[in-house]
Amino acid sequence: MAAIKNEQGKLPYGRYSKKSNIIANISSVMCGFLIVVLFILIHKITNKLGISILVAFAFFLVSTFVISVLANLANKVLVDFYKDLDFKKLEKSYQKILTENLHSESRNIILIDFANVLLNYDKERALLLWKNTKEPSLNKHIYHALKINFLIAEEKYDEAASLIESYRELYKGKVHVNIANNLELGLKIVSSLEIIEDIEKHVLLPKNNRFVKITNCANLMRYFYSRKMLEQAIIYANIIKKENVGCTEIDKLVCEVLKKEM
């Protein structure tokens, strides 16, 4: 895993405000003290150095993870958005974070995440924002998947197909295989009129993630509408309309589909 070096005068990577950085630093000091105490206590009880080191190291890993999550204000903003789908609040929160003296990698992640969401609200603005991002040092697989998604949005289908194959060769894990399959399915929906057997079994509508539910509904609506299956397209258009989340780019097609119902 690549190490992210600090940048002079900037917040550390993964810290998105001075306040969260201070809290994380204080928490780290406290956890360090607790690790020493825990190590001494376990060693006294067991009189075994190996077990003491193992327990202390496990506590260190858990505490480091918890602190990183709590200090990651940007992730909290995104998680909150997935719950309430309040785009204006998301944009306002990101704008506030971007006024901080962020590490260049942290700033890049904010822009990547925002561009991905923005694609459903303002396509042209999202594409412009995406062009101002760069490949991050960590979690490259996420960036590569999003890059394919943006190529599909730009209707660069041949390039997207080529990158999906590259993605399959580069990432072999089960999660990555599923991501590649979903990207390939999304590409087929918009780039051809191929009838995809049991598509509704492949494009699911999760109850615990409204954002994914809406975007998947949009994919199904687009699939059925482009293949002249109006009745099924209207079903998904009405689901999106009922959610009333204001995804401008999606709503354009919803209006077009529902006009055919009249």
Sorted by sequence, the CB contacts under 8 Å of residue 229 that are 6+ apart come out as: none
11-15, 169-173, 253-257: the lowest-pLDDT one: 11-15
Measure the CA–CA gap between 106 and 189, rounded to whole angstroms: 34
pLDDT exceeds 80 at position 68: no
Split at pLDDT 50, 70, 90, the class of 2 is low
Count Cβ atoms below 10 Å from residue 151 Cβ, excluding itself.
Answer: 21
Q: pLDDT at position 73, please?
A: 72
Asked whether residue 119 carries a pLDDT value surpassing 90, the answer given is yes
Residue 97 CA to residue 102 CA, distance in Å, equals 8
> What are the residues whose beta carbons fall under 8 Å from the beta carbon of 169, sequence distance 6 or more?
none
Average pLDDT score over the chain: 88
pLDDT over 60 (residue 128): yes
Mean pLDDT check: name the lowest of 49-53, 76-80, 93-97. 49-53
Does the pLDDT at position 69 exceed 70?
no
Q: What integer pLDDT is reported at residue 1 of this predicted model?
A: 45
**How many CB atoms within 10 Å of residue 81?**
20
Q: What is the pLDDT of residues 157-181, one digit of tens each?
A: 999 999 999 999 999 999 999 999 9
**Helix and strand numbers, DSSP H then E, in the chain:** 13, 0
Band (pLDDT 50/70/90 cuts) for residue 102 is very high
Rounded to 5°, angle at Cα 123 from 84 and 226:
95
